[in-house]
């Protein structure tokens, strides 16, 4: 009898966990929560000055091009042999790779995690005006956290 109650308790906890995961997956709060976690991790692990210098060097390489330039770095060791800012790999959505979009007609770089959707980082020259056509959270002049799922 006692074992039966124990099994029922385990089943109840399991079902509650499944219900929470399903709710989280469909919750309108999920994009906001992911963005806040991303923002916290970036501020904890990445130096904004180093990030902006790296991104502007990358962006100026493709500034004169008519088309956008898309770079992809995948796998758990995606940062070996590159000059990514230190701490990038500690950021959850960058842990297994990143995508970088440059060549947008101005010195800027859009940095995305390797998964679909989720937060992104917009890095541009500090002298450029803050984007007004996007939902963003400013970090420093020229560095913004964004997520296209948040309105």
Q: List pLDDT tens digits, range 97-114.
A: 888 888 777 788 999 887
Question: Domain residues for 66?
Answer: 29-146
Alpha-helix residue ranges (DSSP H) falling in the chain: 2-26, 30-45, 48-61
Q: Which stretch of DSSP H or E encloses residue 123?
A: strand 120-124
> What pTM was computed for the model?
0.75
The single-letter DSSP state of residue 65 is -
pLDDT at 22: 59
Domains identified in the chain, total number: 1
Work out the angle at residue 130's Cα, subtended by the Cα atoms of residues 126 and 133, and round it to the nearest 5 degrees: 150
- Closest residue by Cα to residue 121 from 58, 38, 61: 38
Residue keyed to tokens 């950021």: 91
């Amino acid at each position: 009898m006692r074992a039966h109650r124990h099994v029922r308790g385990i089943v109840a906890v399991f079902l509650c966990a499944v219900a929470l995961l399903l709710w989280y997956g469909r919750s309108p709060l999920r994009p906001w929560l992911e963005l806040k976690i991303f923002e916290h991790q970036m501020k904890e692990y990445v130096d904004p000055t180093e990030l902006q210098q790296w991104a502007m060097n990358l962006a100026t390489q493709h500034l004169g091009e008519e088309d956008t330039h898309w770079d992809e770095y995948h796998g758990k060791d995606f940062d070996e042999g590159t000059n990514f800012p230190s701490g990038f790999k500690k950021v959850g959505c960058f842990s297994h790779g990143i995508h970088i979009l440059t060549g947008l007609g101005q010195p800027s770089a859009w940095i995305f995690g390797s998964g679909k959707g989720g937060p992104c980082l917009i890095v541009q020259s500090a002298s450029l005006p803050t984007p007004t056509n996007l939902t963003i959270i400013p970090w420093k002049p020229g560095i913004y956290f964004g997520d296209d799922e948040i309105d």
